[in-house]
């Protein structure tokens, strides 16, 4: 588990530290810095994966994240041409420092304090799932990858290998904490269908693998009692079902000690589905999976709050961060607040803009 993350001169943050929970929810207006927290972790992962982090510098553009040039990631009000990242994990701590060369527009590694065991954290291993905000929507077929899926158990940053993953590992058992209350079967595919039924009632997932063209097709049918509909192509079914599928699979497939990073898991979901997504995240966190999620949904937040109230997750395991931009001399800077939640799911403070639009709109209507 990553206990804390610190950033220096990275994007919109001059100096900022985050004490992370088992479940950490990042919220705030667009452009306030939420995505930068996830990007910092992915940048470290990407740089280590390509063999640069320990000896040379940062890989700003790769399979996990694409951040542009070095000038794009340096805080615009930096008082020194240097970036820094700090991690505190279960096994070790690390502080990486990088010099920014304005003439060449590159960053290079400076001497820092890095304990080698930091690379044993799941951020740098195969037990990381990252599902980006831009996911693969309905397709006639989805690609396969034996290397990424079979050998490294990845879903793809856009969830593009989710169908392949389910076809290979659909019969594996999920953790007891994430088993849906209405479904006794504990296989990954059965539980995926159970949680997806909160999005679209009675949905059944039909997978067909075509090795000759390295593809998997996904079809959906719908059950109601003893009645089962015909199979429909994913392109002929609601967009939200396919868009949500990789998020649900990531949360169910993650193992204790694993790390799941999610961007906008509520996209294309109706309010009930968003609340249930919050519950599923809480259940996965209670099973020992560390989750960082960026969300704009008060329904997701309420699903998490209800899970805390119903003892599915302790308030000590949860961290809430609210991001806003404030005017400072000569620039706008990101400011981070951390509301607290109690055992009844109540939040101690509601800063302006923190999931308060429903109340604002209601007051206008009244």
CATH number at residue 245: 3.40.50.300
Looking at the structure, do residues 71 and 196 belong to the same domain, yes or no?
no
The yes-or-no verdict on residue 275 having pLDDT over 90 is yes
Looking at the structure, do residues 288 and 312 belong to the same domain, yes or no?
no
Domain that holds residue 134: 128-296
C-alpha Rg value of the chain to the nearest Å? 21
Q: Which residues touch 107 (CB under 8 Å, ≥6 apart)?
A: 57, 58, 60, 70, 73, 83, 98, 99, 100, 101
Q: pLDDT digits over 282-311, tens only?
A: 999 999 999 999 999 999 999 999 999 999
Looking at the structure, do residues 37 and 136 belong to the same domain, yes or no?
no
Phi, psi of 59 (to 5 degrees): -100, 100
Looking at the structure, do residues 176 and 266 belong to the same domain, yes or no?
yes
Across the chain, what does the average pLDDT equal? Answer: 92
Question: Which of these three, 296, 325, 352, is where a domain ends?
Answer: 296
Looking at the structure, do residues 72 and 118 belong to the same domain, yes or no?
yes
Looking at the structure, do residues 208 and 279 belong to the same domain, yes or no?
yes
Q: DSSP strand E in 250-297: where?
A: 259-263, 290-294
The yes-or-no verdict on residue 356 having pLDDT over 70 is yes
Q: Please state, in angstroms and rounded to a whole number, the distance separating the CA atoms of residues 228 and 222.
A: 6
Pairing type for strands 23-28 and 318-328 reads parallel
Pairing type for strands 259-263 and 128-131 reads parallel
Looking at the structure, do residues 149 and 202 belong to the same domain, yes or no?
yes
Q: DSSP strand E in the chain: where?
A: 2-10, 13-19, 23-28, 82-89, 93-101, 106-114, 128-131, 142-143, 203-210, 215-224, 227-228, 232-233, 259-263, 290-294, 318-328, 331-337
- Identify the pLDDT of residue 329: 63
Lowest mean pLDDT among 44-48, 83-87, 112-116: 112-116
Q: pLDDT digits over 2-19, tens only?
A: 999 999 999 999 999 999
Highest-scoring range by mean pLDDT, 96-105, 255-264, 326-335: 255-264
- Identify the pLDDT of residue 76: 87
Looking at the structure, do residues 234 and 358 belong to the same domain, yes or no?
no
Looking at the structure, do residues 180 and 292 belong to the same domain, yes or no?
yes
Looking at the structure, do residues 152 and 165 belong to the same domain, yes or no?
yes
pTM metric for this prediction = 0.93
Question: Which of these three, 296, 325, 350, is where a domain ends?
Answer: 296
Question: Which of these three, 296, 326, 355, is where a domain ends?
Answer: 296
Looking at the structure, do residues 290 and 159 belong to the same domain, yes or no?
yes
Q: Which CATH number is 2's domain given? A: 3.40.50
Query: Total structural domains in the chain?
Result: 2
Q: pLDDT digits over 139-184, tens only?
A: 989 999 999 999 999 999 999 999 999 999 999 999 999 999 998 8
Looking at the structure, do residues 225 and 319 belong to the same domain, yes or no?
no
């Amino acid at each position: 588990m990553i206990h804390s993350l610190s950033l220096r001169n990275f994007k919109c943050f001059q100096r900022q530290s985050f004490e992370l929970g088992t479940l950490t929810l990042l919220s705030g207006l667009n452009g306030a810095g939420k995505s930068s927290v996830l990007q910092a972790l992915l940048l470290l992962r990407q740089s280590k994966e390509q063999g640069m982090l320990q000896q040379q510098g940062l890989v700003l553009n790769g399979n996990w994240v694409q951040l542009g040039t070095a000038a794009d990631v340096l805080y615009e009000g930096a008082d020194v041409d240097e970036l820094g990242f700090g991690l505190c994990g279960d096994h070790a701590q690390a502080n990486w420092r990088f010099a920014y060369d304005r003439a060449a527009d590159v960053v290079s590694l400076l001497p820092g304090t890095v304990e080698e065991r930091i690379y044993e954290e799941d951020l740098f291993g195969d037990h990381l799932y990252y599902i980006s905000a831009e996911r693969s929507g309905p397709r006639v077929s989805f690609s396969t990858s034996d290397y990424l899926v079979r050998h490294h158990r990845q879903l793809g940053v856009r969830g593009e290998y989710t169908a392949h993953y389910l076809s290979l590992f659909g019969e594996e058992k999920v953790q007891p904490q994430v088993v849906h209350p209405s479904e006794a079967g504990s296989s990954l595919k059965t539980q995926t269908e159970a949680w997806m039924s909160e999005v679209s009632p009675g949905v059944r997932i039909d997978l067909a693998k075509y090795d000759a063209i390295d593809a998997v097709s996904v079809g959906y049918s719908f059950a109601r009692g003893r009645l089962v509909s015909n199979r429909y192509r994913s392109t002929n079914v609601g967009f939200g079902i396919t868009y949500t599928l990789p998020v649900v699979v990531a949360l169910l497939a993650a193992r204790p000690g694993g790390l799941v990073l999610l961007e906008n898991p509520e996209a294309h979901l109706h309010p009930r589905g968003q609340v249930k997504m919050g519950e599923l995240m809480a259940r996965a966190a209670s099973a020992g999976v560390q989750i960082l999620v960026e969300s704009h949904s008060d329904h997701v937040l309420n699903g998490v709050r209800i899970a805390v109230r119903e003892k599915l997750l302790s308030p000590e395991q949860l961290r809430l961060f609210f991001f806003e931009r404030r005017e400072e001399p000569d620039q706008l800077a990101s400011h981070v607040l951390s509301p607290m939640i109690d055992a009844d799911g109540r939040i101690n403070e509601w800063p302006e803009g923190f999931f308060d639009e429903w109340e604002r709109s209601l007051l206008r209507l009244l």
